[in-house]
Amino acid sequence: MLAVAPWDLEPNLPWSVFTSPAEQWASLPSFLVGEYLFYACTIVALIHAIRCGRGHVMAWVAALLAGTANDLIFMALPMVDNFWQAQATIMLTPRLPLYIPCVYVCFMYFPTVAVWRLGLPRLAQATLTGVTASLFYAPYDIVGAKFLWWTWHDTDMPIANRLLGVPVGSTMWIITFVSAFALFLSWGRRCDDPKDFGKVATKGFVAAILLSTTAMGLQMQPLQLLDGGIPGPVGLVFIASLYLGIAAWQWRRRLPGLGCESDGLLRGAAIAYFAGLALIMAAFDPATHRSESMHQVYGACHVEAKDILGFTRYEFVCAEDFDEDYSFACVDALPAEGSPWYTVCGRAHTDYPRYLGVVATLATLGILFFGGALRRRRDD
């Protein structure tokens, strides 16, 4: 049985479809910048797709549909339900900001197109796309968690292993999900007979939308066994090494990459994206941020429940016993028991040089890869 569906408008909650940018700047300034950065990158990706032909348009639409469906599925299942989005300036439901579908478009479309330009065989193309998608997503994952763009469940075991506040499982999910997406979508690429392109591409398009989440789950299950049944560092190193190894093994078999004269536009957006996230980490203070939104339900400490893997977790978060990167220091009173809607306060950096250094390094690697892959103009 599903929990309250994310598309239920929940009229009892104090949420708004539209929030003033000025109001957002006062409470979550970095989030305002990040939200509109993703809107801009998504629009650029759409312009690029339209200019580059129907294969690119199909990739853009498939990323939008497959990604949004994946988010809704894992948001709706009560035994998986372990993340809550902050209130953006444009909300589709109390838990789904408009910018989230844009996030999916960006971290799926940009890597897919960039790796297409390398001309790798199908399997290597898919595995490298998954790894480069994790590179695209990682600085966002660090910045977003630190600045309260979302909050995690406090005791859910699949997200217990974290690096700089980011669950290891989040990175593994990106690699496996996007690699599956790219593999399915590749059915429509490099078809020798143009007459068959539509049929072949449609099969890949539909499979990418309907099967990527399932394929991700099938990959994650054995990987979790390497760390005692939950996502962990051994599984992450294994899958990243394996997928990079496949790409390296088939590197000599690459063909001339398929490209588009508008690649410079996408290249510029990718560079702006990585630079923007690094600047957000450098310029903003998380201690000034506060998020009034849906979070893990507040309640009595140590009330046990089961997650989807059968692990025990605490159903409620309580002020006396939690270990998240937020506090209740900026509010006059603690949330009411049973409340899913309350305000949390950002915590100051305890290791600012480390956070900035890691995000800057990831941003530099991202600029080098995407800038290089999309550098030359080629004809389809």
Q: Which of 327, 301, 344 has the alpha carbon at shortest distance from 28?
A: 344
Give the pLDDT confidence of 188-201 residue by residue, as tens digits.
555 434 445 566 67
Question: Is 42 within 8 Å of 102 (Cβ atoms)?
Answer: yes
Question: Is 103 within 8 Å of 245 (Cβ atoms)?
Answer: no
Give the pLDDT confidence of 131-157 residue by residue, as tens digits.
999 999 999 999 999 999 999 999 999
Question: Is 231 within 8 Å of 223 (Cβ atoms)?
Answer: yes
DSSP state at residue 375: S
- The torsion angle over the Cα atoms of residues 307, 313, 319 and 325, rounded to 10 degrees, is -70
Strand 341-346 versus strand 326-327 pairing type: antiparallel
- In which residue are the tokens 């479309």 written? 109
Distance between CA atoms of residues 91 and 101, nearest Å? 11
Band of residue 379 on the pLDDT scale cut at 50, 70, 90 = very low
Question: Is 51 within 8 Å of 314 (Cβ atoms)?
Answer: no
Residue ranges covered by each domain of the chain? 21-286+352-373
**pLDDT of res. 23:** 96
Question: Would you say residue 127 has pLDDT above 50?
Answer: yes
Question: Is 257 within 8 Å of 128 (Cβ atoms)?
Answer: no
Determine the residue type at 202.
T
Q: Which of 276, 301, 302 has the alpha carbon at shortest distance from 359?
A: 276
Give the pLDDT confidence of 93-124 residue by residue, as tens digits.
888 999 999 999 999 999 999 999 998 999 99
Distance between CA atoms of residues 78 and 88, nearest Å? 23
Band of residue 2 on the pLDDT scale cut at 50, 70, 90 = very low
For the segment 314-333, the average pLDDT, to the nearest whole number, is 94
DSSP states of 121-154? -HHHHHHHHHHHHHHHHHHHHHHHHHTTSEEE-S
Give the pLDDT confidence of 219-239 residue by residue, as tens digits.
999 999 999 989 999 999 999
Give the pLDDT confidence of 274-301 residue by residue, as tens digits.
999 999 999 999 999 999 999 999 999 9
- In which residue are the tokens 């849906």 written? 294
**364 or 308, which is more confident?**
364
Distance between CA atoms of residues 330 and 204, nearest Å? 50
* Token pair in block for residue 189: 């690429």
Q: Which of 154, 159, 210, 148 has the alpha carbon at shortest distance from 185?
A: 210
Instruction: Provide the whole-model pTM.
Output: 0.92
Which residues make beta-bridge pairs with 91?
A: 97
User: Phi, psi at residue 361, to the nearest 5°?
Assistant: -65, -45
